[in-house]
Amino acid sequence: MPYSLLRPLVLLVPLTASACVSDDLPPTGSDATESGDGDGDGDGDSGDGDSGDGDGDGDGDGDDDPGLLVGASGDAFAFGPYTMIADAKVSIIELPDFQTTTDAEGHFAFDGLPAGHNASFVFERLGFPKLQTKTFMLPADGEVERITFQAPDDATYAALASIVGIDPDPATCQIASTVTRVGKSIYDQGAHGEAGATVEISPSLPAEHGPVYFNANVIPQKDLTETSDDGGVLYTNVPPDIYTITAHKDGVEFEPIVVTCLAGVLVNASPPYGLQALE
C-alpha cells in the first residue's frame, strides 16, 4: 500500500471501522522465533543446558543479566502528501511495558529493548484505525531503524473497504504490504513497487480473502493477478493467526514477512520492511 493512496480516495463516502486489539496470540515462525524455551515461564535450571533460566523471562541466560539491549526507531506517515503524524502512541505487542509517543516530526524511538525478542509495533491515534507493523526479531548487532507506519485516516480506511467491497469484521484483521523494488522505500517519492510479482500467504486462505493487488493508479483492483508499479497488495477479513507472506517473480528474490494478525487491527508491513526485493 503506497503513501499516495489518499489522493484517489478522498471523495469517497466514509464508513465506520474500528475495533480493539487483543494480545492473545504469541508470535511464532521463521521471523518470529524467540530465544529460550518459547514459553517464557522460566522453567529451566541454570547450568543444566535447558533454555529456561528460572528468572521468568525465558531467555535462557542462566542469571540475572538482562542480556544485550538494543534500540528501535522509525516514523509515522499519513497517506496523501508527505505529512507526518505527531502525538501518536506507539507500543509493542510482545513488550507491553515499552510505550512512547511520536514527536512533532512523526518520529519515535525506543531504547533498552531485549535483543532476540519479537517486536510488533503498534500505532494508535484518534481518527485513525489501529495500525501494526510486521513482526520483527530484534537483532543483536545494532538498532532497528526506519520502522514505518503508513496510516490511513478513518475516512480513507472506510473508502478502501468500500472499493474492495467488504465490511471490516472486528473479529479479524486486515493485512497490507508493498512488494518493493530494490533500494526503494516509503522515504522515496513516487511509486516504488516491483511490478509483475505474485503474493502468497501461509497458512493459506480462501480466495475471497485475497490477495487484492493495487493498480498503477493506486486503487485496489480485484481482477488483477499480479502487482503493478504501485506494488500494493491486500488481504481482507483475515482470521487471527501468525502468517508468513511471500512474493514471487522470476529472477527476483524477496524478503518474506511474518505478521501477527490480531482482531481489529490493520497490519501494514510497509517499506522498507515489507516484501522487499533483495540485491
pLDDT score for 58: 41
Pick the closest to residue 153 from 129, 169, 186 (CA basis): 129
d(CA 98, CA 225): 40
pLDDT score for 202: 98
pLDDT score for 269: 96
pLDDT score for 66: 61
Per residue in 85-107, pLDDT (tens digit) is: 999 999 999 999 999 999 999 99
pLDDT score for 203: 98
CA dihedral 260, 262, 265, 270 (to 10 degrees): 0
- Which positions of the chain have pLDDT values less than 50? 1-65
Q: Which residues pair with 221 in a beta bridge?
A: 213
Which stretches within the chain are classed as H helix? 6-9, 154-164
Pick the closest to residue 132 from 150, 116, 146 (CA basis): 150
> In a 3-state reduction of DSSP, which class is residue 110?
strand
Per residue in 133-148, pLDDT (tens digit) is: 999 999 988 899 999 9
Q: Decide the pairing of beta strands 69-78 and 83-84.
A: antiparallel
CA angle 4, 163, 85 (to 5 degrees): 35
